[in-house]
């Protein structure tokens, strides 16, 4: 067995081990690398920044725990910006396993804001958490007519009419934009139904897997910003001046990407070397 | 750190490690954690549906005297006829109600967002040429996008064999598609690594307090 | 409902130029204040008007011309805004009939600069029954598309021959089956994780039928592990019928199509085990795939199998392309099944889709000409407010 | 009655909803707001319980017939009952502290770790399966590697202003995805049209 054959036959668990150790070492080292900010992230931040205190914005958190690693940091960074600017936030969660994550993120953001500034952010006054309803597409349309159609009560079962914040909020016309942070096709519905039917300005924060698919909508103006995966989260953390888990993760990403690129190169070198050494046309590679 | 948090994070860490053990091979710890999660999430879903839909959207409205909500409730309950072999056809009525509405709203809106607006945006790219202060590089890129979109559409054209002009265009189209898939691939790598980073951060920082 | 679409050109400094525009503000005059209860409206002030109707309640509103209401803000890059209003008199979004409104758009820059557009000519508010722009830009194309679909499905049902180009992955099917026969090793067919009513799964059934028929003719072994119980029962019917068509009903047995489990990762682990233990010569992955695409394709490539894959889940296509020998990308999967199965519904839809794309390309060409040579009447078609 | 009437219902509602979009009249708005958008969540609630009920049925059958790995089905059932009991005792339901505790410490670790396994799988696949075996696969791999290089400060190649990976994202990627989106859009519309017109009816089941 030549060197390349031996390389090709390497048990996959060795590969797992190399990656695992590299990521662990990277996380432990806690290196912060400079993060270039993309235009798509800057536009979301700039738009929210130009709003007045007391304006309202809709944050749609449509993701479940499996992708929270990428999306929760975005949510927290975004909530920090809103709370600091005293922008009121309407929060919904159209993924069945999302409400607990959303409630958790809101609690964390409120506690952090209190720690930092001593100001209390109050449920029902500064933010409202609507919760979950099935059939996201029709819920998005329903909220465009009146938030009270799908959500007579908020997540904590208080009627919306009893919440001071909702007194002057009827539908999307009363919020300045929707920020959809999502790991599912809910993003497509927000684009087709939310933006399509009600013309609401929409920005999205999506997982890395989905990010590249939404650039066409950016060019048409159907959305005005994209945050893609952990990179987008890290950019937003930088924009709101709170480097957190996403920013720390970027140095680990660098290490892991180097390893994966190396794997691709070594694998392909071995493949071509072996193909050369085999008689033509045997085909069993 | 108090005991409650320690116990909680230790359980979470144990479950995390149990799932990671699948990398070595399938084993009882993995199966246990997985089946537990199936049960818990199904139960959680029941609670969400009950407390966030059944109570506010049905029960409280009926109690408030909005009697007409009895109609959607009955319609919905007909879904349960699915479990009877004889009466399962009744469940088609609520299904038909939902599907009729959902497909009806989808037709114009999807046509608009995914077809018409995309077409419009592509024409907009060319309008840029004439705008004051247009950059050459951007104009060039915009033209490239236009060509790429057309070639991509031609590639997914099944009525004509890929020969001659169609063939060349389709070849270019599949090349553009592949660059797009490559970009998606690169981002997917980042996405998957992110998930691993977060789990390691949890194990090191939240559980072991090993900063 | 009252809808005014305000459409503008991008500011010279938006996206291009200094690229410092943050958002656009849309303003409307006359300014409307209200609603006031009817008994609070001063009788002698002509700027107040009372609106009343049986259906929508009553309220007083004050109109001040020359002053502006902010009707909305949109982020940079946007070129339109819908000013929506309703007919309910005491609602904040009330818009009365028969009032002339004028609009203007202000570009707000990061430095706080504000540049205003000229004021638009007046728009007269009046109830319309039809949303004309929508009918032209969406309704009309939708009707055209419907006609095409109905026409081609009808033609296919009447037995008209509709040409579909051959696809590389499909040509490879016969070759791959032949190879398995030569090597005397089994063929693996994975239908994916989709439910039985998903289009990709349905398309996969008709390809399975073709593969099973060939396999039966060659007397090769076929393995179809299933993820979903309903998919399994349909697949069993399909394979049984295919063996019957091939004239070898005796070779069919119930173990060809079997149920594994409905858990993603354990299912994949089991299929991987099958691939490695049975040394399958050819693997088909056709249908709906999620994260497991990568694991399956990797293991198969390690086992040295020829792999033919296809899915309409775009995110999974890269993994199939780099790890499999042939990949059917998105719609190609449907086309492949139409090509093999000649099912009128699928075939007709595919044809209609092709012709509609031709129409789209023609419109696009027209738009490009209009944009390049600044032909106003063409560009007017593309300025829409939906 | 069994088959024809549901198809007629779909046709009427579907056509109505399409027209409703084009004719913004008060009466059509009323139906749109108070029936079309108001009722489906309620129906959805009942529909979604079907999956849970069948999960319970499958688990019970597995235990009863002592099928492979039946012990794990007991785990599923116990977990299901525990969390439901915790949620129904407390009026806050899904927001009750024990439910939140189970969510945070048991559901989150399983689902997030399960997906993080993919990091290992992608690394292994990168090493063993991602081959430049054809021209197309080569284009894909080169484009992927360039995009992945954006994390490294390698001078003009990855400079954020003129970054090559950014060009890939906003030019060829945009073109490719737009071609796909248009195709997907036409697919969705054609399926919806066929459903409304009663051509496609497989979702109603056989009989």
Q: How much is the pLDDT for C56?
A: 64
Q: How much is the pLDDT for A153?
A: 93
Q: Which residues, at least 6 apart from C307, have a Cβ–Cβ distance to it below 8 Å? A: C282, C283, C284, C285, C297, C300, C301, C323, C324, C325, C326
CA distance D2 to chain A (A): 25
Residue C286 has pLDDT above 90, yes or no: yes
Strand partners, C139: none
Could you tell me if C188 and C283 are in contact, meaning their C-beta atoms sit under 8 angstroms apart?
A: yes
- Termini Cα distance of chain D: 13
The residue of chain C with its CA nearest to that of D186 is C353
Distance CA C229, CA D126 (A): 33
User: In whole numbers, what is the pLDDT of chain B averaged over residues?
Assistant: 91
The CATH code of the domain at C168-342 is 3.40.50
Asked if C73's CB is within 8 angstroms of A176's CB, the reply is yes
Distance CA D183, CA B43 (A): 38
Distance CA C207, CA C326 (A): 15
- Taking CA atoms, D16 is separated from A2, A198, B107, in Å, by 70, 19, 11
Residues of C in contact with D183 (CB under 8 A): 330-331, 353
CA distance B133 to chain D (A): 19
By Cβ distance, the residue of D22, D125, D182 closest to C294 is D125
Could you tell me if B103 and D14 are in contact, meaning their C-beta atoms sit under 8 angstroms apart?
A: yes
Q: Which residues, at least 6 apart from B186, have a Cβ–Cβ distance to it below 8 Å? A: D143, D144, D145, D146, D147, D148, D150, D165
Q: Which residues, at least 6 apart from A31, have a Cβ–Cβ distance to it below 8 Å? A: A251
Residue C118 has pLDDT above 70, yes or no: yes
Strand partners, C86: C94
CA distance A160 to chain D (A): 16
User: In whole numbers, what is the pLDDT of chain C averaged over residues?
Assistant: 85
Provide mean pLDDT across the span D131-142: 92
Q: How much is the pLDDT for A280?
A: 45
Provide mean pLDDT across the span C4-11: 78
Q: For A138-142, C127-131, C325-329, which range has the lowest pLDDT when averaged over its residues?
A: C127-131
Asked if C371's CB is within 8 angstroms of B26's CB, the reply is no
Q: Which of residues 113-172 of D touch B (CB under 8 A)?
A: 113-122, 126, 136-137, 139-148, 150, 165, 167-172
**Torsion (CA) A147, A148, A151, A153 in degrees, nearest 10:** 130
CATH code matching the domain that covers C2-129, chosen among 2.60.40, 1.10.3470, 3.30.700, 2.60.120 = 2.60.40
- Chain A CB within 8 Å of residue C20 CB: no
**Tokens 């007409």 correspond to what residue?**
B68
- Chain B CB within 8 Å of residue C351 CB: yes
Residues of B in contact with C351 (CB under 8 A): 158-159
Q: How much is the pLDDT for A120?
A: 94
Greatest C-alpha distance within chain C: 100
Phi then psi for residue B7, to 5 deg, are -60, -45
Provide mean pLDDT across the span C12-22: 72
Provide mean pLDDT across the span C177-193: 93
Q: Which of residues 116-135 of C touch B (CB under 8 A)?
A: 134
Q: How much is the pLDDT for C127?
A: 67
Asked if D170's CB is within 8 angstroms of A264's CB, the reply is no
- For a pLDDT cut of 90, what percent of chain D falls above it? 51
Dihedral over Cα of B108, B109, B115, B116: its sign: positive
Residues of C in contact with D22 (CB under 8 A): 130-131, 134-135, 138-139
- Taking CA atoms, C131 is separated from A63, C128, C265, C384, in Å, by 36, 7, 50, 12
Q: For A1-5, A31-35, C180-184, D39-43, which range has the lowest pLDDT when averaged over its residues?
A: A1-5
Residues of B in contact with A200 (CB under 8 A): none
Could you tell me if B114 and D185 are in contact, meaning their C-beta atoms sit under 8 angstroms apart?
A: yes
CA distance C107 to chain D (A): 25
pLDDT in tens, A43-81: 899 999 989 899 999 999 999 999 999 999 999 999 999
Asked if C265's CB is within 8 angstroms of B22's CB, the reply is yes
CA distance D93 to chain A (A): 9
User: In whole numbers, what is the pLDDT of chain A averaged over residues?
Assistant: 91
Residues of D in contact with B20 (CB under 8 A): 113, 117
Distance CA B145, CA B124 (A): 11
User: In whole numbers, what is the pLDDT of chain D averaged over residues?
Assistant: 88
Q: How much is the pLDDT for B26?
A: 82
Residue A36 has pLDDT above 60, yes or no: yes
- Taking CA atoms, C296 is separated from C175, C224, C272, C324, in Å, by 21, 14, 7, 10
Determine, yes or no, domain membership for B151: yes
CA distance B123 to chain A (A): 10
The band of D199, judged by pLDDT with boundaries at 50, 70 and 90, is confident
Could you tell me if C207 and C343 are in contact, meaning their C-beta atoms sit under 8 angstroms apart?
A: no
Q: How much is the pLDDT for C55?
A: 59
Residue A118 has pLDDT above 70, yes or no: yes
Could you tell me if A15 and D123 are in contact, meaning their C-beta atoms sit under 8 angstroms apart?
A: yes
pTM: 0.91
Both structure tokens of A181: 């942070």
- DSSP strand E in A6-85: where? 56-62
Dihedral over Cα of B186, B189, B191, B197: its sign: negative
Among A177, A220, A211, smallest CA distance to A55 is for A177
Determine, yes or no, domain membership for B70: no
Provide mean pLDDT across the span D149-153: 84
Asked if D69's CB is within 8 angstroms of B49's CB, the reply is no
**Structural domain span for residue B144:** 135-211
pLDDT in tens, C288-327: 998 889 889 989 988 889 999 999 888 899 999 999 999 9
Both structure tokens of D73: 């089905």
Q: For C3-12, C302-311, D98-107, which range has the lowest pLDDT when averaged over its residues?
A: C3-12
Chain centroid to CA C307 = 28
Q: How much is the pLDDT for A284?
A: 37
Greatest C-alpha distance within chain D: 71
Q: How much is the pLDDT for A282?
A: 38
- Strand, helix or coil at D97? helix
Q: For A139-153, C239-253, D40-54, which range has the lowest pLDDT when averaged over its residues?
A: D40-54
pLDDT in tens, B41-63: 999 999 999 999 999 999 999 99
CB atoms within 10 A of CB C255: 8
Distance CA C29, CA C103 (A): 6
Residues of C in contact with B115 (CB under 8 A): 141, 360
Asked if B120's CB is within 8 angstroms of C382's CB, the reply is yes
Distance CA C253, CA A259 (A): 47
- Strand, helix or coil at C11? coil
pLDDT in tens, C19-30: 778 788 888 888
Q: How much is the pLDDT for C262?
A: 78
- Strand, helix or coil at B119? helix
The ipTM estimated for the assembled molecules is 0.90
Q: What share of chain B is helix, strand, coil (3-state, %, to 5)?
A: 85, 0, 15
Distance CA D81, CA C209 (A): 43
Among C275, D117, C290, smallest CA distance to B21 is for D117
- Chain B CB within 8 Å of residue C381 CB: no
Q: How much is the pLDDT for A34?
A: 87
Q: How much is the pLDDT for C9?
A: 78
Determine, yes or no, domain membership for B144: yes
By Cβ distance, the residue of C9, C350, C371 closest to B158 is C350
Residues of B in contact with C321 (CB under 8 A): 178, 181
pLDDT in tens, B88-144: 888 889 989 999 999 999 999 999 999 999 999 999 888 877 777 777 888 899 999
Residue C150 has pLDDT above 60, yes or no: yes
As for how many domains chain B has, the answer is 1
Asked if B134's CB is within 8 angstroms of C141's CB, the reply is no
Q: Per-residue b/e over D112-132, b at no fewer than 16 CB within 10 Å? A: bbbbbbbbbbbbbbbbbbbbb
Among A168, A181, A200, smallest CA distance to A75 is for A181
Q: How much is the pLDDT for A285?
A: 33
Q: How many CB pairs under 8 A join A and B?
A: 148
Asked if B113's CB is within 8 angstroms of D196's CB, the reply is no
Provide mean pLDDT across the span C73-80: 77
Q: Which of residues 22-41 of B touch A (CB under 8 A)?
A: 23-24, 41
| Residues A39-242, CATH architecture | 3-Layer(aba) Sandwich (3.40)
CA distance C74 to chain A (A): 6
Among A261, B178, B182, A207, smallest CA distance to D149 is for A261
Angle at B156 between CA B153 and CA B161, to 5 degrees: 115
Q: How much is the pLDDT for C113?
A: 80
Q: How many CB pairs under 8 A join A and D?
A: 150
Counting as contact any 3 or more CB pairs under 8 A, the partners of A are B, C, D
Q: For A157-171, A241-255, C41-55, which range has the lowest pLDDT when averaged over its residues?
A: C41-55
**Tokens 């390049």 correspond to what residue?**
C372
pLDDT in tens, D156-188: 666 655 678 889 999 999 999 999 999 999 999
The band of C124, judged by pLDDT with boundaries at 50, 70 and 90, is confident
Give the DSSP H/E element, type plus range, for residue C211: helix C199-218
Q: Where are the domains of chain C?
A: 2-129, 137-159+347-382, 168-342
Chain centroid to CA A253 = 17
Determine, yes or no, domain membership for B89: no
Q: For A89-98, A151-160, B147-156, C37-46, which range has the lowest pLDDT when averaged over its residues?
A: C37-46
The band of A154, judged by pLDDT with boundaries at 50, 70 and 90, is very high
Provide mean pLDDT across the span C65-82: 80
Which of B19, B25, B158, B164 is the best substitution to test chain C (most C C-beta atoms within 10 A)? B158
- Strand, helix or coil at D168? helix
């Amino acid at each position: 067995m030549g060197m390349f054959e031996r390389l090709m036959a390497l048990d996959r668990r060795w590969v797992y081990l190399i990656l695992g150790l590299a990521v662990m070492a990277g996380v432990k080292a806690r290196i912060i690398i400079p993060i270039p900010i993309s235009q798509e992230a800057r536009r979301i931040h700039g738009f929210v920044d130009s709003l007045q205190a007391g304006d309202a914005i809709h944050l749609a958190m449509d993701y479940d725990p499996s992708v929270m690693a990428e999306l929760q940091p975005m949510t927290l960074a975004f909530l920090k910006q809103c709370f600091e600017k005293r922008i009121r936030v309407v929060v919904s969660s159209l993924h069945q396993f999302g409400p607990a994550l959303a409630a958790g993120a809101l609690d964390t953001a409120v506690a952090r804001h209190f720690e930092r500034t001593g100001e209390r952010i109050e449920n029902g006054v500064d933010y409202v958490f609507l919760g979950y309803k099935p059939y996201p597409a029709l819920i998005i349309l329903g909220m465009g007519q009146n938030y009270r159609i799908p959500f007579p009560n908020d997540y904590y079962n208080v009627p919306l009419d009893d919440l001071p914040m909702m007194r002057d909020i009827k539908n999307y016309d009363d919020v300045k934009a929707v920020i959809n942070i999502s790991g599912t096709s809910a993003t497509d519905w927000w684009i087709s139904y939310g933006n399509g039917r009600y013309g609401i300005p929409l920005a999205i924060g999506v997982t890395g897997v989905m990010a590249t698919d939404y650039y066409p909508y950016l060019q048409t103006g159907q959305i005005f910003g994209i945050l893609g995966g952990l990179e987008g989260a890290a950019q937003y953390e930088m924009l709101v001046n709170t480097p957190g888990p996403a920013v720390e993760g970027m140095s680990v990403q660098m290490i892991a990407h180097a390893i994966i690129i190396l794997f691709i190169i070594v694998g392909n070198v071995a493949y071509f070397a072996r193909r050369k050494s085999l008689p033509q046309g045997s085909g069993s590679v | 750190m108090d005991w409650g948090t320690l116990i909680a994070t230790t359980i979470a860490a144990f479950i995390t490690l149990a799932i990671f053990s699948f990398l070595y091979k399938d084993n009882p710890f993995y199966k246990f954690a997985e089946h537990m999660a199936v049960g818990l999430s199904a139960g959680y879903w029941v609670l969400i549906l009950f407390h966030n839909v059944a109570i506010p959207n049905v029960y409280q409205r009926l109690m408030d005297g909005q009697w007409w909500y009895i109609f959607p409730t009955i319609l919905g309950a007909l879904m349960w006829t699915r479990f009877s072999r004889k009466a399962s056809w009744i469940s088609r009525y609520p299904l038909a109600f939902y599907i009729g509405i959902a497909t009806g709203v989808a037709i114009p809106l999807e046509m608009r967002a995914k077809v018409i607006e995309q077409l419009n945006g592509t024409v907009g790219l060319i309008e840029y040429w004439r705008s004051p202060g247009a950059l050459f590089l951007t104009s060039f890129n915009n033209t490239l996008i236009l060509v790429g979109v057309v070639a991509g559409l031609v590639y997914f054209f099944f009525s004509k064999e890929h020969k001659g002009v169609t063939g060349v265009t389709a070849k270019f189209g599949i090349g553009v598609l592949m660059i797009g898939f490559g970009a998606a691939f690169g981002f997917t790598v980042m996405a998957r690594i992110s998930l691993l980073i977060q789990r390691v951060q949890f194990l090191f920082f939240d559980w072991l307090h090993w900063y | 409902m009252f809808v005014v679409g305000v459409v503008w050109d991008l500011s010279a400094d938006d996206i291009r130029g200094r690229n410092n525009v943050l958002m656009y503000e849309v303003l409307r005059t006359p300014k409307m204040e209200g609603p006031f209860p009817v008994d609070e409206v001063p009788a002698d002030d002509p700027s107040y008007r009372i609106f009343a109707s049986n259906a929508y309640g009553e309220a007083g509103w004050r109109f001040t011309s020359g002053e502006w209401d902010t009707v909305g803000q949109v982020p940079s890059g946007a070129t339109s805004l819908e000013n929506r209003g309703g007919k309910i008199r005491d609602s904040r979004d009330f818009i009365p009939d028969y009032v002339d409104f004028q609009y203007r758009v202000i570009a707000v820059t990061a430095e706080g600069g504000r540049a205003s557009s000229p004021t638009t000519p007046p728009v007269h508010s009046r109830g319309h029954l039809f949303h004309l722009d929508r009918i032209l830009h969406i309704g009309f194309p939708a009707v055209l598309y419907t006609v095409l679909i109905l026409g081609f499905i009808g033609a296919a049902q009447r037995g008209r021959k509709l040409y579909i180009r051959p696809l590389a992955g499909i040509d490879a099917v016969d070759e791959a089956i032949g190879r398995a026969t030569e090597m005397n090793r089994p063929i693996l067919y994975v239908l994916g994780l989709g439910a039985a009513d998903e289009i990709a799964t349905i398309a996969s059934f008709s390809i399975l039928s073709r593969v099973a028929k060939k396999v039966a003719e060659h007397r090769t072994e076929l393995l179809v592990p299933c993820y979903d119980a309903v998919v399994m029962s349909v697949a069993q019917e399909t394979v049984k019928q295919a063996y019957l068509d091939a004239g070898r009903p005796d070779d069919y047995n119930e173990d060809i199509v079997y149920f594994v489990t409905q858990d993603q990762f354990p299912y994949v682990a089991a299929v991987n085990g099958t691939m490695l233990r049975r040394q399958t010569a050819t693997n088909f992955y056709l249908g709906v795939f999620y994260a497991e695409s990568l694991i399956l394709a990797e293991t198969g490539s390690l086992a040295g199998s020829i792999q033919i894959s296809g899915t309409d889940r775009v995110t999974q296509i890269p993994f199939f392309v780099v790890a499999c020998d042939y990949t059917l990308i998105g719609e190609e999967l449907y086309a492949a099944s139409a090509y093999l199965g000649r099912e009128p519904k699928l075939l007709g839809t595919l044809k209609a889709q092709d012709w509609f794309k031709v129409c789209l390309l023609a419109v696009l060409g027209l738009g490009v000409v209009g944009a390049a040579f600044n032909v106003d009447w063409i560009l007017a078609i593309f300025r829409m407010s939906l | 009655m069994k088959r024809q009437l549901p198809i007629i219902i779909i046709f009427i509602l579907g056509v109505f909803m399409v027209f409703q979009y084009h004719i913004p009249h008060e009466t059509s708005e009323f139906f749109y707001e108070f029936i079309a958008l108001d009722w489906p969540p309620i129906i959805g609630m009942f529909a979604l319980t079907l999956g849970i009920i069948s999960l319970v049925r499958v688990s019970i059958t597995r235990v009863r017939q002592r099928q492979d790995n039946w012990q794990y089905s007991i785990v599923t059932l116990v977990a299901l009952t525990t969390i439901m009991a915790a949620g129904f005792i407390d009026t806050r339901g899904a927001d009750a502290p024990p439910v939140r505790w189970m969510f945070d410490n048991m559901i989150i670790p399983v689902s997030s770790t399960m997906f993080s396994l993919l990091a290992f799988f992608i690394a292994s696949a990168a090493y063993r399966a991602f081959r430049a075996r054809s021209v197309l696969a080569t284009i894909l791999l080169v484009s992927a590697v360039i995009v992945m290089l954006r994390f490294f400060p390698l001078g003009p190649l990855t400079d954020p202003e003129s970054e090559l990976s950014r060009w890939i994202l906003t030019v060829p990627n945009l073109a490719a995805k737009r071609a796909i989106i248009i195709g997907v859009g036409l697919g969705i519309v054609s399926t919806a049209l066929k459903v409304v017109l009663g051509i496609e009816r497989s979702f109603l089941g056989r009989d």
